Amino acid sequence: MKKKPINVRQKGATGEREVARLINKSLGVSLVRNLEQTRNGGHDLVPEVDTGCAVCQFAIEVKRYKRVTDGKIKTWWKQTTSQADDVDKKPCLIYRGDNEPWRVMINSELQPFITIQITMSFEGFIDYMHVLNYKNADFKPLDLEYQKAIDVNFWKLL
């Protein structure tokens, strides 16, 4: 019996919706699919309302593939950074292979003019967003003790 062919576009859209739900559940930020991405190019997820929260600073590109390779990640990162530059946001690549957990790649500024890419677990990324929100005076965290724990333990999660 032949396997049914996979609709790549549908698989990508499903991955985008999954990531948007996870971010909403974890951070309380509503992200929606960028429906202009196919026609005009651009990143996959945009905030429904830009509240100034940490995740709103990122141009999020989501990739959901059967198997993830270093070559694919390199290609995806190039696309992600280009799209982020176009909208003056920070690049964020969220990806996973079949039966694998979500991984997140972002830039980290070590010193002025020295930027490296770091890859972390999705949970580590969520905790990092909590840390950034905590440090942003305009976005108040819900639980101060939880934020203090994140500040102390964040680097252990990478």
CATH of residue 128: 3.40.1350.10
pLDDT given for residue 30 in this prediction: 84
- In this prediction the pTM is 0.78
> Quick count: other Cβ atoms within 10 Å of Cβ 100?
11
Query: Which structure tokens are listed for 42?
Result: 């651009």
The answer to whether residues 16 and 44 touch, using CB atoms and an 8 Å cutoff, is yes
How far is Cα 61 from Cα 91, in angstroms, rounded to an integer?
8
Instruction: Kindly state the DSSP code that residue 86 receives in the 8-state scheme.
Output: H
The answer to whether residues 38 and 23 touch, using CB atoms and an 8 Å cutoff, is no
pLDDT given for residue 152 in this prediction: 47
Residue 3 in domain: no
Query: Which structure tokens are listed for 65?
Result: 């593939």
Tally of domains within the chain: 1
Q: What is the pLDDT of residues 10-31, one digit of tens each?
A: 777 888 899 999 999 988 888 8
With a cut of 50, which residues of the chain have pLDDT below it?
A: 137, 139-142, 150-158
pLDDT given for residue 47 in this prediction: 84
Residue span of the structural domain in which 57 resides = 8-157
pLDDT given for residue 158 in this prediction: 45
How far is Cα 73 from Cα 86, in angstroms, rounded to an integer?
20
Q: Closest Cα partner for 121 from 144, 105, 139, 137?
A: 105
